A and B are shown apart, each in its own frame.
Chain A
Amino acid sequence: MIFCSWWGWSVLADATSAGEVALVSVNGAVQYRLDLSRDGDFHFEGTRGQFALRVRNNAITVVESHCPRAICVKSGAIRHSGEVIACVPQKILIFIPARSRQNVPAITTG
């Protein structure tokens, strides 16, 4: 437990800066790369159906997901590196990587 918390906080320590991009992974592969400084709406197909993201004021929110409980929509906006929105039924993960790890090859949109 002590180790876990130490490890957790050490990971968190380098993960509290404002993010620049959000990466969207569908079914285990990073597919979209969204610039958080450019507002816009993005629609794409998840593993179960429609998925809609909105970028506003350097933050990203899930606005629509075709899944039973829509926990990803209720998660609200994320804006800092290290923050994650996960949609388990759709296998979609939206995350803001630390600055040093933002150059993941991905399809650029927006």
Chain B
Amino acid sequence: MSRPLPPAERREARQGALIVIGLLLFLFEAFLPKPLPWMKFGLANIATLIALYWMGFRAAFTVAFFRILIGAVFTGTMFTPGFLLSLSGGFLALAAMGVLHRLRIFGIVSVSVAGALAHNAGQLLVAAYLLFANNMVLYIAPYLLASGVFTGVVIGYLSWRVLQRLEREDGVGGENPGG
């Protein structure tokens, strides 16, 4: 093994790795059949959550933003209405997770659920007021938010397991993810 990288470069490398991991999860999910047409697990959020707990909010922002951007290039949805939904959901989710993480009274599962719900809320609001200009879209809000709670718990749990493993293997530079 080569000698360890200086902290700034290590941070950069980790962010890059998390972007790629998020991207792979995003693409993997895009090819999976969906149980319901509007339901999504949000596997890519695992990478964002890990970045948030491992390196803080700015890293999480970088990871989420570049994943959405590059993901749009891969799926051919750049600057389409779908990309707008992705971006609005992504930003609101990131904001919600950042705030709840900063408060330090919520565990990673709660933060993940908040992210999932904020993602759904951001998409619904943009769909209802910008995209379709029709508030009928809000009728699927109850289903969407209910599925958001479920997927948020699953994603939060998975991220927590990964972070536990990171702590054990890495030991340095990690915050305690909490319960």
Q: Are B142 and A86 in contact (CB under 8 A)?
A: no
Cα–Cα distance between A61 and B164 once the two chains are bound (Å): 47
Chain A interface mostly: mixed
Q: Which residues on the B side are within 8 Å of A49 (C-beta)?
A: none
- How many A residues touch the partner, as a band? 20 to 34
Q: Knowing A8-B145, A28-B133, A89-B80 touch, does A75 contact B139 (C-beta < 8 A)? A: no
- Beta-carbon contacts under 8 Å, B73-91 to A: 75-77, 80-82, 85
Per-position 1/0 for A56-88, Cβ under 8 A of B? 000000000000100110110000001110101
B132 at the A/B interface (Cβ < 8 Å)? Answer: yes
Q: Is the CB of A97 within 8 A of B136?
A: yes
- Tell me whether A52 is interfacial, beta carbon within 8 Å: no
Which residues on B are within 8 Å of A, measured CB to CB? 34, 37-38, 75-77, 80-82, 85, 117, 127, 131-134, 136-142, 145-146, 149
A-B contact pairs, 21 of them (CB 8 A): A1-B145, A4-B117, A8-B141, A8-B142, A9-B142, A11-B138, A11-B141, A12-B139, A25-B132, A28-B132, A74-B34, A84-B140, A86-B127, A88-B80, A88-B82, A88-B85, A89-B77, A89-B82, A91-B131, A93-B136, A95-B136
